[in-house]
Amino acid sequence: MKTGISTASFFLREECEQAIKSIKALGAECAEVFLGTYYEYRPEFVKAHAAEFAGIDICACHSLSTNFEPQLFSPSRRVRGDAYYWLDQLMRSAQILGARKYTFHGYTGFGAGGADIAALSEHMCEVAEFCSRYGVELCLENVAWGAYNRPGVFGEFKSRCPSLSGVLDLKQARRSGYPYGMYIADMAGSISHVHLSDVDENGKMCLPGKGVYDFAEIFSRLADAGFNGEAIIEVYGDNYGGTEELKASLDYLGEILSKTG
């Protein structure tokens, strides 16, 4: 496994082109780039900041999902057409970045009843096929308010869309109310990368190593499920103080991995 940081961890602290420089300075092995605006999706933006994005393995890209991802599932061809325009822009940028994976939330607003997976699978497969034309793998992330809001959803989509991969997000597993182990089991053999966070005794999200999670156990469970990808710190800007805390968390994860193999 490789350890890294998402630029999302710097949201409202630094813009993504500045955040990637900070991540490189912290010694991360890899990074996920969160492009959060229509302005940033454009290849022209990525090209303009090529120097900042160079010099680190950018394994995945992420969008602000509500900008266009739900519209990829619209019954309206025109609505889908507009959404695919922005997906095309993002995929062109992913190619420039060298990002091999797309962290995807998909449709939103299912609530407790969940998604009509059979009805949505055709569109999910179309999105996956579109991304594959750019050499990018579609990776559905478990998100409490999104398409993958409970264990079992990934397996159902995967049975209909074999090329689909998954992203485990620990904070979203907590928010969904299901143990993270259920999501690992659901995605076993198809986990692309993981988003790591911790939680303190009061239930507040914090950096890995600052809370109560046993990351040796988490990594062991991931390895047993066939995972050997990128373990990426993804927290919010108010979950830590200075960037030295991010460095300490990165080193903490690296030390655990060096012991567990």
Work out the pLDDT band at 109, boundaries 50, 70, 90: low
Segment 180-190, tens digit of pLDDT: 999 999 999 99
**Selection from 261, 258, 217, 253 nearest residue 234 by Cα:** 253
User: Could you give the C-alpha distances from 179 to 117, 182, 185, in angstroms and in order?
Assistant: 22, 6, 10
**C-alpha dihedral sign at 90, 91, 96, 97:** positive
Tell me the mean pLDDT in the region 98-123: 82
Tell me the mean pLDDT in the region 136-159: 95
Tell me the mean pLDDT in the region 34-45: 97
Residue 108 tokens read as: 């939103």
Segment 72-93, tens digit of pLDDT: 999 999 999 999 999 999 999 9
Average pLDDT, the chain: 95
- Statement: residue 111 has pLDDT above 60: no
Q: What is the largest CA-CA distance in the chain?
A: 53
Work out the pLDDT band at 110, boundaries 50, 70, 90: low
Query: How far is the C-alpha of 59 from the C-alpha of 193, rounded, in Å?
Result: 9
pLDDT at 113: 54
**What's the alpha-carbon Rg for the chain, to the nearest Å?**
17
Lowest mean pLDDT across 34-43, 47-56, 105-114, 245-254? 105-114
pTM of the complete model: 0.96
Domain annotation for the chain: domains and CATH numbers = 2-260 (3.20.20.150)
- Statement: residue 261 has pLDDT above 70: no
pLDDT at 116: 79
The separation between CA 69 and the C-alpha centre of its own chain, rounded to angstroms, equals 14
